[in-house]
Structure 1
Amino acid sequence: MSLFRAISWPAFSLAAGLLSGCASNEIYRGDYTLCSVTPGNPCEQNSLHLYNDGAANEYTLGFVEIDDQGQMRDRKQMQALLDTLYQKAAKESILLTVFVHGWHHNARPGDSNIESFKENLARISQVESQRSKELGRPPRKIAGVYVGWRGESIDLAPFNYLTFWDRKSTAQDVGYLGITELLVKLEEIANVRNSMTPPIKSRLVVIGHSFGGAVVFSATSQILASRFVDSRENKSYTDSAKGFGDLVVLLNPAFEALRYAPFYDLAQARCSYFPDQLPRLAILTSEADDATGILFPLGRIFSTVFETHGDIERNDCNLPLSLDEGKADRATVGHYPPLISHALTPVADAQNLQRASYENMKHLWSTQTPGGSTQYGSTVLTHLNKTSPRNPYLNIRVDESIIADHNDVFNEKVMEFIRLLISLSTDD
């Protein structure tokens, strides 16, 4: 066998294997009619699902699929979702949760992120039903939107782990283009309903995981900055900082700390916040997340080798910050200690465990102190005294017993805490 054949045959076999393992680039949910899901009818081809019709855990789930260039795979799919939600919001208030998945996931029927999101929507619906009875108000209808994009370009293990840099770039394109339009239109649906002065307001929460966190941050960051400053005409007072929708949550997000630094500075330059200031952006990263804590920085070493970086010193509101731009450009936002504002740990004493107190959330949040700790159900949120209390941007380091690894973001411990944040931001 010649040297050329000895080298080329393995290379050809590898290339053939990679090509055969290319992830699907087609739309998964091509039927845009609303389908009522039953045990015998999973509605796998439909982009609009109704679950548990008439029960206390009823919810609607819609899918919107985005291609690698950030474009809607079919704008009719998005429009069908918007039409359904407009019709629902015209009749009653809604609590709308958007989820953008990350690496290795998509909108394929049976995807583990879809199944976990469905379980979480059912739980939110149960909580909303219970809270409506306690407060003597009508319950909001629960609706979820699952944003599907090609979370990996090769689905053949172990080669799919080589898609990291490719999918990181795609996540930024997805966030800068199609997702922004979708999110703004979903926010419009909630605002149109609220302009009718309903007995309970409609609300919007956006959640992104992994590269999906990068998608959401890219899509909302400039809107968040604009609404924090609030430069509208004839404004003569300082108000509470606004956000996008009611709350943006990023779980183990895979983007650079340096991209978040301007938002840290923006919020830190304001030395105090009103008691009614609510959280607007919550970033939660597990200390045991090796994907964003180890693999991501390794990848960034090569892509930043020719960039120049400096050191930044801040002392806004007598809270010093030393930022090494090089380290911040290689580390993810949840693994760069100077920008981490809070720690989330489990309740140390099992005897102190308490039921999640939805009715007391605003009081707990408004009375936080510098360096203080507050119990939220089975977890404790500790302010690290790097930011002003009630700063609406939270970058939270999460104990591994709460989020075990990169993908463990739908377990009950962290979901309970997120539901409490949602209640804090939406319960009026």
Structure 2
Amino acid sequence: MRTQPDCFVPPPDPVPGVPGEQRQFPSLDCRSTLYKTGFIEFHEDGSAVDPAQEHKVLALIESEKRRAPGGKVITFLYVHGWKNNGDQAAPGAKPKDVERFGTALGELGYRARLANPPNPVPVVGVYIGWRGKSLKGPGLFTFISYWSRRNTANRIGGTTLTATINNVIERTNAGSLASRVVLVGHSFGARVLEHAIENGVTLYDQRRSSAAPS
């Protein structure tokens, strides 16, 4: 079992490490001072690789809310697309989707720090991983995976992911209507999100309407 970085305030980590974790880093990455990231991965049939990954993300959001002024956080949930997955680039190699996601989070975290230097709004990234890259080889060769990955994207956007997204939204908004959730899908990741939303993602919070001035 891999040890986790110091992601939670206060420690210790409320959820043990994910058994059999194979990635270079644990399912939470808290090395940056500008943001923290959680990975939630899904099988081809749309089921979760390990439910503990979602539990860790939700615990991370809660922890960031505890240290934030007024409990306000920004949660950025991203679903990658075709020809990508949750792999991380080797040191010195060309950045992959995971690293590009980190760059985007870093920019968001930097702007949050500029907006309120003493108490910046915490930024939590949620990377939804699936097998968008099923073939290796020259670029033209991988195009034959288009239809299989398109159909897989439909399954990834099933009820399990819908429940996960709803849990992320609910946990982010709990106790603070000033918090925000950003949902982004790239390529077939947008298709994944479309199907998840159709299955019942709660995008509209009635509490915001009731709190708004008439």
TM-score band, normalised by the shorter chain? 0.7 to 0.9
Partner of 2:105: 121
Contact in 2 for aligned 1:98/1:207 (Cα 8 Å): yes
* Alpha-carbon spacing, 1:117–1:91, altered in 2? closer, same or farther (3 Å): same
* Alpha-carbon spacing, 1:90–1:35, altered in 2? closer, same or farther (3 Å): closer
In the alignment, residue 45 of structure 2 is paired with which amino acid?
Q
Contact in 2 for aligned 1:70/1:175 (Cα 8 Å): yes
Contact in 1 for aligned 2:42/2:48 (Cα 8 Å): yes
TM (norm. structure 1) is 0.40
Confirm or deny that 1:91 pairs with 2:70: no
Partner of 2:85: 106
Partner of 1:143, secondary structure, is strand
Confirm or deny that 1:163 pairs with 2:142: no
Contact in 2 for aligned 1:90/1:193 (Cα 8 Å): no
> Could you list the runs of 5+ residues in structure 2 that have no partner in the other structure?
8-22, 90-94
In the alignment, residue 30 of structure 2 is paired with which amino acid?
L
Correspondent of 1:144 among 125, 133, 149: 125
Partner of 2:116, secondary structure, is helix
Partner of 2:168: 186
Partner of 1:343: none
Superposed CA RMSD = 2.8
Partner of 2:49: 73
Partner of 1:250: none
Contact in 2 for aligned 1:32/1:47 (Cα 8 Å): no
Identity of aligned residues (%): 25
Deviation at 1:114, TM superposition (A): 1.1
Partner of 2:174, secondary structure, is helix
Which structure has the bigger radius of gyration?
A: 1
How do 1:359-370 and structure 2 match up within 5 A?
none
Distance of 2:86 and 2:201 partners within structure 1 = 27
Deviation at 1:223, TM superposition (A): 4.1
* Alpha-carbon spacing, 1:178–1:68, altered in 2? closer, same or farther (3 Å): same
Confirm or deny that 1:52 pairs with 2:32: yes
Confirm or deny that 1:215 pairs with 2:192: yes
Partner of 2:182: 205
Distance of 2:61 and 2:98 partners within structure 1 = 19
- Number of corresponding residues: 185
Distance of 1:144 and 1:175 partners within structure 2 = 19
Distance of 1:175 and 1:83 partners within structure 2 = 23
Runs of 4+ in 1 over 3 A off after TM superposition: 221-228
In the alignment, residue 140 of structure 1 is paired with which amino acid?
V
Contact in 2 for aligned 1:89/1:189 (Cα 8 Å): no
Deviation at 1:181, TM superposition (A): 1.5
Contact in 2 for aligned 1:33/1:46 (Cα 8 Å): yes
In the alignment, residue 94 of structure 1 is paired with which amino acid?
V
Partner of 2:92: none
Partner of 2:30, secondary structure, is strand
Partner of 1:257: none
Contact in 1 for aligned 2:42/2:130 (Cα 8 Å): yes
Deviation at 1:160, TM superposition (A): 1.9
The structure with more strand, counted as a fraction of residues: 1
Q: Which deviations, in whole Å up to 9, do the C-alpha atoms of 1:321-376 show, x marking residues without a partner?
A: xxxxxxxxxxxxxxxxxxxxxxxxxxxxxxxxxxxxxxxxxxxxxxxxxxxxxxxx
Distance of 1:52 and 1:227 partners within structure 2 = 31
Q: Which deviations, in whole Å up to 9, do the C-alpha atoms of 1:210-244 show, x marking residues without a partner?
A: 0000001111135479849x8xxxxxxxx97xxxx
Contact in 2 for aligned 1:66/1:178 (Cα 8 Å): no
How do 1:213-362 and structure 2 match up within 5 A?
213-221=190-198, 223=200, 227=204
Deviation at 1:35, TM superposition (A): 5.7
Deviation at 1:159, TM superposition (A): 3.0
Partner of 2:40: 64
Distance of 2:175 and 2:151 partners within structure 1 = 36
Contact in 2 for aligned 1:34/1:47 (Cα 8 Å): no
